[in-house]
Amino acid sequence: VSFPPLAIGCEACGATEQQLRPIPVATHGTIHSLAEVHLQHGKSSEPFVVAEIRLDDGPLIRALMARDEHHARIGDTVSAVWAVTQIQDGDEVVEPAFTTTPTVTDARNGVTT
Ligand SMILES: [Zn+2]
């Protein structure tokens, strides 16, 4: 599984682009690493958090954390929400951003959701 999709085929096994197919991937994952950004293109900006997230389906992706997620830590479980990340030429740019999700454990059967 590759995210974002590879237009050149699979770098791991050599499959061509035609042999690959799109599949839905989990919007849940675990924070692998993160950094709080205070300078962007040499200018100070409102701090935001960039994280590497290991999705439950396997891929390690780089994504923004939601704006209020300044206390996220490595190992936290997260899920994606749609968020306005910037305004470009008056239009809102909407991208997935990740938010920490409390792990809910059902005490009766031990299933974690
Ligand atoms: Zn492959």
> What is the whole-number distance in angstroms between the Cα of residue 25 and the centre of ligand 1?
16
- Report how far ligand 1's centroid is from the alpha carbon of 27 (Å): 21
Identify the helix (H) or strand (E) that includes residue 87: strand 77-88
Average pLDDT of every residue of the chain = 83
Joined together, the tokens standing for residue 78 give: 């997260």
The token pair at 110 is: 């031990």
Characterize 51-80 residue by residue with b for buried, 16 or more Cβ atoms within 10 angstroms of its Cβ, and e for exposed: bebebeeeeebebbbbeebeebeeebbbeb
> Distance, CA 11 to ligand 1 centroid (Å)?
6
What proportion of the chain, given as a percentage, has pLDDT over 70?
A: 88
pLDDT bracket for residue 111 (50, 70, 90)? very low
* Ligand 1 midpoint to CA 4 (Å): 14
Q: What are the CA-CA distances from residue 58 to residues 43, 74, 83, 86 (Å)?
A: 35, 17, 23, 28
Q: What is the CA radius of gyration of the chain?
A: 17
pLDDT value at 108 more than 50: no
- C-alpha angle 67/39/88, rounded to 5°? 60
Express each pLDDT in 61-85 by its tens digit: 999 998 888 889 999 999 998 888 7
For 19, the 3-state DSSP assignment is helix
Report the alpha-carbon distance of residue 82 to residue 68 in Å, rounded: 14
What pLDDT is recorded for position 68? 82
| Average pLDDT estimate for 9-14 | 89
Q: Which residue has the higher pLDDT, 41 or 100?
A: 100
> What's the CA-to-centroid distance between 13 and ligand 1, angstroms?
4
> Which amino acid does the sequence have at 68?
D
